[in-house]
Amino acid sequence: MDNLSVLLICAVAHVILASVFSVAGSTVTAYPPPYGLDSAASFHSSSDGNLIPVRREVYGNGRIFDITHTLRPGMPSWGSEEGLGQFLWLPASMKNGSEANNSEMKLPTHTGTHIDAPGHVYDHYFDAGFDVDTLDLEVLNGPALVVDVPRDKNITAEVMKSLNIPKGVKRVLFRTLNKACFAFRRLMWKKAFDTSYVGFMKDGAQWLVDNTDIKLVGIDYLSVAAYDDLIPSHLVFLKDREVILVEALKLDDIKLGIYNVHCLPLRMLGAEGSPIRCILIK
């Protein structure tokens, strides 16, 4: 199936969804809420008067898009069939007599939407201290291009050539079959880790490094590198410490084009990876 056919199927699917989930003039939402259901209110009241917080994907009258996946027990975790599982506890609870609620968490640094530092795959960089606190915030913040990857293949040198990314573009977010449309894939919404995700092959990574000015590579599953070329692709990207990898972005309903991207890792001394909060601004 060619790209045009896939896009047409997507469009039809969204029209069907809009009609199916419209009841008595109101829109019925499911988790995750689709883009466009923005609201200035931070809460609403249920029928019994309880406050219910509104969780939004879009802010600023449609200009700010949160492309970070919410950390949740049922999200995929690398190599696991059971998802992330419990990562958050409340050892100090006001319900049990504490003066305030104080949570604790434990999770891998490469969980959900996250970033890779050079020490992730190069032990000498790890020992030298090239951790997430050494990454360049200028690279992680600035104009970015969102592009679509052909749906039927990993990102090879041939695919990179076909994308025709102009010289001078420094940040590119690759939207892939991992996202797709409707419910065809949506791998980040499935609990079990899926090795069939779309990512870079070694030759695609090398072509990007050799032929473009890209310094930030973002993708919509847990690794920018295809499972069959996992370490080789990472080695190419991180060899010279010039490319920053941002993984598991939420690009489901982001339109192609140019945005300002803002991604901030936690300042953790010695960490080769970190969860991040990442947004796009029109």
Q: What is the pLDDT of residue 8?
A: 42
Mean pLDDT confidence for 209-238: 98
Domains of the chain: 3-66 (no CATH), 114-281 (3.50.30.50)
Element (H, E) at 122: none
Q: What is the pLDDT of residue 152?
A: 72
Q: Among 47-51, 182-186, 273-277, which stretch is predicted with the lowest mean pLDDT?
A: 182-186
Q: What is the pLDDT of residue 144?
A: 98
Q: Is pLDDT larger for residue 142 or for residue 180?
A: 142
Residues 6+ apart with CB under 8 A from 38: 56, 57, 58, 59, 61, 62
158 near 235, Cβ under 8 Å?
no
pLDDT at 273 > cutoff 70: yes
Q: Is pLDDT larger for residue 184 or for residue 84?
A: 84
- Distance between CA atoms of 195 and 178, rounded to whole angstroms? 11
pLDDT at 94 > cutoff 60: yes
Q: What is the pLDDT of residue 251?
A: 95
pLDDT digits (tens, 9 = 90+) for 9-61: 444 444 333 333 333 333 333 334 443 444 445 666 666 778 899 889 999 99
Q: What is the pLDDT of residue 41?
A: 56
Classify burial at 194, counting beta carbons within 10 Å of its beta carbon; exposed 0-12, middle 13-18, buried 19 or more. Answer: middle
220 near 278, Cβ under 8 Å?
no
134 near 122, Cβ under 8 Å?
no
Classify burial at 250, counting beta carbons within 10 Å of its beta carbon; exposed 0-12, middle 13-18, buried 19 or more. Answer: buried
173 near 144, Cβ under 8 Å?
yes
